[in-house]
Structure 1
Amino acid sequence: MTAAAGPAARVHADLTALLERVADAYALGDVTGWEVLTTGYEDCNVDLATTRARVVAKVFAAGRDAGIAARTAELIAAAQAAGVRHPRLHRDRHGRLVHSCLGHQVLVMDFVPGRTLYDLDRAPTPGELAGIVEQAAKIHTVDAHPERVFDPWAVTNLAPLAGQLRDVLDAEQSRLVGQALAGIAGVDRDALPEALIHADLTKGNVLLGDDGAVTVLDFAVANRFPRVQELAVIAANLTHGAPAPLPVRAETIAELYSAAAAVPLTPAERVALRVFTRAAAAMELLGALAEWHHRGNHSPETEYLIGLGLAGLRDYTGVS
């Protein structure tokens, strides 16, 4: 059994005892092994093996909103009904999707064999990217209007976060982030069609199964926002490492989305997408710098995201 210091520290209970209780509550048999999954900044996801199954237990961090697990489960169910591929959620002995245990909310879901794009350390192939964008288009058809949850990595937080980090940005970072801020400030968001978006379609939340299928993970920060905000995150994060520069990658995603979605992108959305993608790259940089400087999180993932965000912003050098 191994426990990564970062995610495991978000559990304010003995993790072994908690997992044993979860296994019993879901009638999974005895625990035979477990491993904390190391990516992510909010909760603690555990690969849990028992005598009857192999599952992933999502243990919501201490201090999270009381309804966050139920909200997440409801959105997963709605997305699955729309054809989105997400691991099946399990119910406990009382028929509940959400289990409360030792001060934490827990969801249990099927373990899907495969690896995330973060683990694979590469960009998706053209075929994989088309499958990911198709999943995004299906998510956007979900007729759900949940109460908004705060997402510290959302583009909407770009200006305040840039202000908080102004003293740690070097000259290049400050210039590049300033350009992203100027661009997003000029966008009329009210003119952009909104939808329920996953909001975190990143390398760590897209699993490529052993059968090649695309599986979407984690709806904890899904909110209603302009749908181009979703596509911008896909471009800035998921396609990082592809040979084309970020503006070109965003155009490719726009074409794929318009082919897959019931309602293609409008001309205004296509213009806004370039601005949002630049802002999404800035948020990757700033979110990771906040982890590094404000929370002392010097993990490989944080270092990776600093480089990812900076590379995306540099792709806009010379682009108006």
Structure 2
Amino acid sequence: MSVFTKVSHKALTAFLEQYPLGALIGFQGIGEGVENTNYFVDTEDGRFVLTLFERLDHDDLPFFLGLMAHCADRGVPAPRPLRAKDGEVLRELCGKPAALVQRLEGASALTPNTAQCHAAGEALADLHSSARSFRLTAANTRGRDWRVATADQVRPRLPPEAAALLDTALAADEAARWTALPQGVIHADLFRDNVLFQGDQVSGIIDFYYACNDALLFDLAVTVNDWCFEQDGRLNRARYRALTEAYCAQREPTETEQADWSGVLCAAALRFWLSRLYDWHFPRDGDLVHIKDPTPYERILRFHTGGQPLSL
């Protein structure tokens, strides 16, 4: 959620005239995140989030916006896209595809307790269950082919020890039996800053713009890697038990998922190490651009490749 495209007061006012939302009160750019331009927008009728899609085009967006509405209809606390006066949810602003969604109440728990980890595991399982009936599909743009291609781009910029780790992680990724794992719609980016809480209860799941069809276990691995590891690469076992037990209580893992869990955890860590390495070495222009340090994911990868396999 960086700001790559500046939106003027005049342009936003004209944009909002397409919606039945009353007059603009104020707006503010959101600096977190790395992919799209986002603003908080306040009008006479409420509080919203405006997203300008920097890389996705009009053909990509019905999947994401439709999934958010589908999940919200089924009780998942996802932000519902707003329909303009003509009934459409997708518009254009500053030459970019744009959409308004509800701004959900609550705040992220950047140092979650075990109750919040338990709630996050339940919420992920609920999302997977609710999304089963969603009929649109989308490939994972950060899938294995992307991971291999991006590894080739960043490898020349890595010191020998990191390059060796990269090759070990790629081998683990290749060994995972991806097609044998249960598939479905996944969030693919359920980091702590994409889950909102009121107390210990999940009040919002946001930023669906990496959602896709892939192995459900990969989604759990992405979530575990962010929620259950400390910045120094140590596993917080209490958080790990709380999150995985809550998820598995609603969707019992198959034998193949249990056997391939370590490799999937490694692949999920590799995905975010690579994206952060790429952004670090090939930064994009923009205001309030947030480039995340790749080091924490290098540490998580070292844990997963260090002979300390985790079990579900």
Same fold by TM-score greater than 0.5: yes
Instruction: State, as a whole percentage, how many aligned pairs show the same letter.
Output: 24
* Structure 1 equivalent of residue 106 of structure 2: 114
| Alignment partner of 1:129 is 2:129 | no
Work out whether residues 2 and 290 of structure 2, in 8 Å CA contact, stay in contact via their aligned partners in 1. no
| CA spacing shift, 1:253–1:210, aligned 2, 3 Å | closer
Task: Please name the residue that 2:250 is paired with.
Answer: 260
Contact 2:105 2:203 in 1 (8 A): no
Q: Aligned residue for 2:67?
A: 75
Higher relative contact order (CA 8 A, sep 6+): 2
In structure 1, distance between residues paired with 2:300 and 2:211: 23
Equivalent pairs counted in the alignment come to 304
Taking structure 1 as the reference length, the TM-score comes to: 0.84
Amino acid paired to 1:130: H
Q: Residue 50 in 1 paired to residue 43 in 2? A: yes
- Counterpart contact for 1:283–1:309, Cα < 8 Å: no
Superposition deviation, residue 222 in structure 1: 1.4
SS in structure 2 of the partner of residue 140 of structure 1: helix
Q: Does 1:309 align with 2:302?
A: no
Partner of 1:40: 33
Task: Tell me, yes or no, if the aligned pair for 2:229 and 2:236 is still in contact at 8 Å.
Answer: no
Which residue matches 1:237?
Answer: 226
- Structure 2: runs of 5+ lacking an equivalent: none
Name the counterpart of 1:3.
Answer: none
Query: Distance between the aligned counterparts of 1:18 and 1:115, measured in 2?
Result: 29
Cα gap change, 1:130 to 1:18, in 2 (>3 Å): farther
In 1: Cα distance, 2:144 partner to 2:300 partner:
15
Whole-angstrom distance in 2 between the partners of 1:270 and 1:251: 15
* SS of corresponding position for 1:28: coil
Q: Which amino acid aligns with 1:255?
A: E
Greater mean deviation of Cα atoms: 192-201 or 74-83:
74-83
Is contact 2:183-2:213 (8 Å) kept? yes
CA distance in 1 between partners of 2:306 and 2:199 (Å): 41
| 8 Å CA contact retained: 2:228, 2:236 | no
Q: CA deviation at 1:139?
A: 2.1
**In 2, distance between residues paired with 1:315 and 1:156?**
24
Q: What is the rounded CA distance, in whole Å, between the counterparts of 2:236 and 2:214 in structure 1? A: 21
2:222 alignment partner AA: V
| Residue 228 of structure 1 pairs with residue 217 of structure 2 | yes
Gapped regions of structure 1 (runs ≥ 5): 1-5
Q: Output the CA distance in 2 between the equivalents of 1:208 and 1:44.
A: 23
Matched, 1:176 2:171: no
Q: Distance in 2 between matches of 1:108 and 1:171?
A: 45
SS at match of 1:88: coil
The one-character-per-residue Cα deviations of 1:224-280 (angstroms, maximum 9, x if unpaired) are 11111101100112333289944956665443221023xx10121022222111222
Q: Aligned Cα RMSD in Å?
A: 2.8
Residue of structure 1 aligned with 2:3, choices 3, 8, 11: 8
1:254–1:270: 8 Å Cα contact kept in structure 2?
Answer: no
TM-score, structure 2 as length reference: 0.86
Tell me whether 1:84 sits opposite 2:76 in the alignment.
yes
**Residue 190 (structure 1) aligns with:** 179
Q: In structure 2, what is the Cα distance between the partners aligned to 1:18 and 1:276? A: 45
Change (3 A) 1:18 1:68: farther
Instruction: Give the conservation status (yes or no) of the 8 Å contact 1:34–1:49.
Output: yes
Give per-residue Cα distances to partners, 1:288-320, cap 9 Å, x unaligned.
11001122579895343x122022123235316
Matching residue of 2:153: 164
Taking the aligned partners of 1:155 and 1:250, their CA distance within structure 2 comes to: 25
The letter of the residue matching 1:288 is R
SS of the aligned residue for 2:168 comes to: helix
Distance 2:219 2:176 in 1: 16
Pairwise mapping of residues 138-157 of structure 1 onto structure 2 (< 5 A)? 138-141=126-129, 142=131, 143-149=133-139, 151-152=141-142, 154=143, 157=146
Q: Which moved more, 1:178-187 or 1:154-163?
A: 154-163
Does 1:26 find its partner at 2:14?
A: no
* Dislocated runs of 4+, deviation >6 Å: 297-300
